[in-house]
A and B are shown apart, each in its own frame.
Chain A
Amino acid sequence: MALDNYTTIIAVASIVTSGITIGIGVIGPAIGEGRSVATALSSMAQQPDASATITRTLFVGLAMIESLAIYCFVVSMILIFANPFWNHALT
């Protein structure tokens, strides 16, 4: 019974925390991506000749910003599917 309680607490904490992780962690990258795309669009409208360079830099920058959200996603996936505390409690 004690084991059951431990695993239940760990499961609840992991699931809730993974939801909070991805929910809060995505806010920053979303704002950053929106701002960078908006700036890139306006600068492309002002200087269409430079659009090739701007697009390449934009893609690199977007991927780097997005990787922050991906880190949160990886953490939440680990908490749900490969939880180290869960395995520790079971053994």
Chain B
Amino acid sequence: MRLSPDELIFWQYGFIKLDATIVYTWGLMLVMVVGSKTITSKLSTGLERSRWQNILEIIVTGILEQIEDVGLDQPKKYLGFLGTLFLFIGVANLCIIIPGYEPPTGSLSTTAALALCVFVAVPLFGIEEQGVGNYLKTYTEPTIIMLPFNIISEISRTLALAIRLFGNIMSGTMIVAILLTITPFIFPDLMIALGLLVGMVQAYIFSVLATVYIAAATREHKHRPKQEQKTAEQE
């Protein structure tokens, strides 16, 4: 029994391997890039529009609304990063209805790479928004004693992000594989249906958590003057 699609190797030459994770990741990337290119190449601004344009507009405006709800003021600036995360994880998890497909998100390498992207992007957005000094100062909030704990939380939440996605998707495929040996016909299908729901929820969670982290890194200095004003007024 395979723990992750890393162990399914299609082609090998020396130490260069093509495993299922790489193949399916690139396949998904190809499908998504080519698909959105062909759809967006003939956009229309009139009332007559294709159904594919409609579905893309629904997805993009939905993601924008969600980002704004979580607390980022300029959702369009973060749409490229957060939308990519959501769409890639969502499509990767939804494709499990295709027979023979193994979700690349069920491999710890993929989820670790995605979590590392978040780990790098959060300080970058924070520094861009409030400068290096102010951003570094947020690590010593509320007191300097909290500095090591803030750094630990930065690392542990990245780890948690990776393991959460990996564990959920891996457990879905594992349960289907185990059920196939016990009750072959109906129950695996039900578990795959549950896996679709879990996959979408996990894609949503991953992008919402990334949004929350970015919001926490960029928000600080906007709120602090307000609080100071309030305390000044009260005094």
Chain B binding surface, main DSSP class? helix
Interface residues of A in 53-91 (CB under 8 A from B): 56, 59-60, 63-64, 66-67, 70-71, 73-74, 77-78, 81-82
Query: Given A81-B1, A81-B3, A82-B3: A70 and B205 within 8 A (CB)?
Result: no
Q: B125 an interface residue at 8 Å Cβ cutoff? A: no
- The CA of A16 and the CA of B19, in the complex, are separated in Å by 32
Count of A interface residues, CB-CB < 8 Å: 15
> Is B170 within 8 A of A74, CB to CB?
yes
Chain B CB within 10 Å, residue with most, of A60, A63, A71, A78: A63
The answer on a CB contact under 8 Å between A70 and B171 is: yes
CA A78 to CA B163, docked complex, whole Å: 13
B3 adjacent to A60 (CB under 8 Å): no
**Contact of B167 with A74 in the complex, beta carbons under 8 Å:** yes
Contact with A along B1-22 (1 / 0, CB 8 A): 1010000000000000000000
Q: Is the CB of B168 within 8 A of A70?
A: yes
Q: Does B209 contact A (CB under 8 A)?
A: yes
Cross-chain contact A63 with B167 (CB below 8 angstroms): no
Interchain CB contact under 8 A, A59 and B201: yes
B210 to chain A, nearest CB (A): 12
Q: Is the CB of A70 within 8 A of B201?
A: no
- In the bound complex, do residue B208 and residue A67 qualify as a contact, i.e. CB atoms below 8 Å apart? no
Q: How large is the interface on B (under 10, 10 to 19, 20 to 34, 35 or more residues)?
A: 10 to 19
- The A interface is mostly helix, strand or loop, or mixed, namely helix
- Residue ID in chain A nearest B4 by CB atoms: A82
**Structural contact, B163 and A67, CB atoms closer than 8 A:** yes
B176–chain A nearest beta-carbon distance, Å: 14
Most chain A CB within 10 A, of B160, B164, B170, B208, is at B164
Given contacts A73-B171, A77-B170, contact A67 B209 (CB under 8 A): no
Partner of B163, one of A60, A64, A74: A74
Find chain B residues with CB under 8 A from A56 CB.
Answer: 69
Report A22 CB to chain B, min CB distance, Å. Answer: 11
Asked if residues A67 and B164 are in contact (CB atoms below 8 Å), the reply is: yes
Interface residue B166 (Cβ < 8 Å from any Cβ of A): yes
Knowing A63-B201, A82-B3 touch, does A71 contact B163 (C-beta < 8 A)?
yes
B159–chain A nearest beta-carbon distance, Å: 10
Of all chain B residues, which has the CB nearest A53?
B69
> Nearest B residue to A74 by beta-carbon distance?
B167
Chain A contacts for B166, CB-based, 8 A: 74
Q: Does B202 contact A (CB under 8 A)?
A: yes
Q: Is the CB of A59 within 8 A of B168?
A: no
Interchain CB contact (< 8 A) of A63 among B1, B163, B202: B202
Instruction: Give Cα distance in the complex from A73 to B202, angstroms.
Output: 16
Within 8 A of A (CB), among B186-235: 201-202, 204-205, 208-209
The residues of B with any CB-CB pair to A shorter than 8 Å are 1, 3, 69, 160, 163-164, 166-168, 170-171, 174, 201-202, 204-205, 208-209
- A: residues with CB less than 8 A from B are 56, 59-60, 63-64, 66-67, 70-71, 73-74, 77-78, 81-82
